[in-house]
Structure 1
Amino acid sequence: MGGPSSSLSSVPDLSPALSALGRGWRAPSHSRGAATRPRATRRHQGRGRLHRRHLRAGEKRGACVGKCRAGNATKLMAIADSDGLPLAVHIAGGNRFDSVLTEGTLDAAFVESLPPRLIADKAWDGRALQLRLRQERGIELIAPKRKNSRRHQDGRMLRRYMRRWKVERLFAWLKRWRRIATRWEQKAENFLGFVQLGCVVLRLRRLHPKTRL
């Protein structure tokens, strides 16, 4: 509608509360006619900033990522010595079977010589793998047999399986670092680099126990 504008108090059909509000309202006066900057409210504080959750939005993806029981994940393989210190680390997709990654983990060793015996769980129960490691690498694989396995197993060698808790302790040490416990890097080589860096720190702590690392 056209016509000159008027104040709220001059309209007769308004309620007394609105009329009183109109009489008490005054237009804000600003010096030099410049618009005031809005106050930094909680709603506007996060604008213009970059957060980690914005970088990895959506489904987990990248190299060495596969679907397993826990979802899309990266499988971390490791070999530890008698003291629980790392000898080799290797990563692969979560959909890869454990025993298939044995040779790749042995090839990724960062020490000159590996121990003559390798202790593993039931997932490594396979005669073909045991013969291949013994003939090609001179390593004896010690793993308990599965329930449906027919091979004969020497119980005296199986006593060494009680020491397998040391490699589980190694995984607990490595996953103390948040960058290793949760993979944030899309590139597999970057994530593997952080895992190797953690292994270096663990070995240096054993060589220099008084040095804080």
Structure 2
Amino acid sequence: MADLFLLSRVQMRRIERYFPRSHGIARVDDRRIVSAIVFVIKNGLRWRDAPPEYGPHKTIYNRFIRWSRLGVFNKIFAALAHKGGKPERVMIDATHLKAHRTAASLLKKGLFPRRIGRTKGGLNSKLHAVCDGRGRPLVMLLTEGQMSDYKGAAAMLPAMPKAKLLLADKGYDADWFRAALAKRRIEACIPSKSNRKIAIPHDAVLYKQRHKIENMFGRLKDWRRIHTRYDRCAHTYFSAICIAAALIFWL
């Protein structure tokens, strides 16, 4: 496996505490299986195309699906991001993620919504995120593609870290959002919309730092199964995003 990806033992020690306990027969090596999951997601492979050195592809796929339903990867990301400390500055933004035809089914066939919507660009999902001043994601939310930025911000507001300053583009220029930030004692650096009668001044030099959250989205989209959504179930797709975010920024 010299040419294949393999998590280091240090990385495994940081995340293995969040794995479910094995009951009965010992399960296949966690390090090898999780590394295989990362390899498939990053390279945009079908599960059946996983290199044979990782083991049976059904084992890899079943482990990913089972742990996704349990929220294992979501917990890993949340725990690692929490250990990053209290940020002085946060940024908020959202990006669209194209849904492949294999995933683009608007029909609800289960208990949970698929988080796929229709926009001018076709069927897609939308990833909302809050990151720290270094461009590392802290809070993420997956919604339908047509959901507005400020509605996503409202959903993430209770989980938003208590920072001193928030950077955002003019899509978040809403009085209620500014008031909510002020109530949490967070200063807003948000440009005013063109239709605002009285423009609210902002620090233009500081606002230039907002490119870091755009860079964060770009790094996530370097993973091919993140850039294009192939998963029908929202929980499996969001698990893939959490795996990518944890490995890129926190491990």
- TM-score normalised over the length of structure 2: 0.53
Distance in 1 (CA, whole Å) between partners of 2:243 and 2:166 is 24
Partner AA of 2:140 in structure 1: V
Corresponding residue number in structure 2 for 1:150: 197
Shift of 1:89: 1.0
- Whole-Å separation in 1 of the counterparts to 2:136 and 2:103: 36
Q: Which runs of 4+ in 1 moved over 3 A?
A: 55-62, 106-109
- CA distance in 1 between partners of 2:145 and 2:219 (Å): 21
| Higher normalized helix content (fraction of residues) | 2
Spell out, residue by residue over 1:6-62, the C-alpha distance to the aligned partner (whole angstroms, 9 max, x if none).
Answer: xxxxxxxxxxxxxxxxxxxxxxxxxxxxxxxxxxxxxxxxxxxx99xxx95585436
| One-letter amino acid of the counterpart of residue 66, structure 1 | G
| Residue aligning to 2:219 | 173
Identity %: 26
Alignment partner of 1:117 is 2:162: no
Answering whether residue 68 of structure 2 is matched by residue 68 of structure 1, we say: no
RMSD over aligned CA atoms reads 2.4
Q: Relative contact order (C-alpha < 8 Å, sep 6+): which is higher? A: 2
User: Contact conserved, 1:89 with 1:108, CA < 8 A, in 2?
Assistant: no
1:115 deviates by 2.4
Q: Structure 1 residue 138 and structure 2 residue 185: aligned?
A: yes
Deviation digits for residues 53-74 of structure 1, max 9, x if unmatched?
A: xx95585436111111211110
Residue 235 (structure 2) pairs with residue 184 (structure 1): no
Q: How many residues matched?
A: 148
How many Å separate the matches in 1 of 2:131 and 2:247?
A: 14
Deviates more, 1:55-64 or 1:75-84: 55-64
Partner of 1:97: 148
Deviation at 1:116, TM superposition (A): 2.3
Structure with higher Rg: it is 1
- Determine the C-alpha separation between the residues in 1 that align with 2:175 and 2:220: 31
| 2:135–2:213 contact (8 Å) kept in structure 1 | yes
Q: Spell out, residue by residue over 1:104-131, the C-alpha distance to the aligned partner (whole angstroms, 9 max, x if none).
A: 234456xxx4422221111111112110
CA distance in structure 2 between the aligned counterparts of 1:100 and 1:187, rounded to whole angstroms: 22
Q: Distance in 1 between matches of 2:187 and 2:159?
A: 18
Q: Which amino acid aligns with 1:84?
A: G
Q: Residue 36 of structure 1 aligns with which residue?
A: none
What stretches of structure 2 of length at least 5 have no aligned partner?
A: 1-47, 50-99, 109-113
One-letter code aligned to 1:122: K
SS at match of 1:186: coil
Secondary structure at 1:168 match in 2: helix
Alignment partner for residue 161 of structure 1, among 189, 207, 212? 207
- On the 8 A contact 1:80/1:167 being kept in 2, the answer is yes
Match of 1:88 among 132, 139, 142: 139
* TM-aligned CA deviation for residue 83 of structure 1: 1.1
Alpha-carbon separation, structure 1, partners of 2:188 and 2:119: 26
Q: 1:170 to 1:58 in 2, by over 3 A?
A: closer
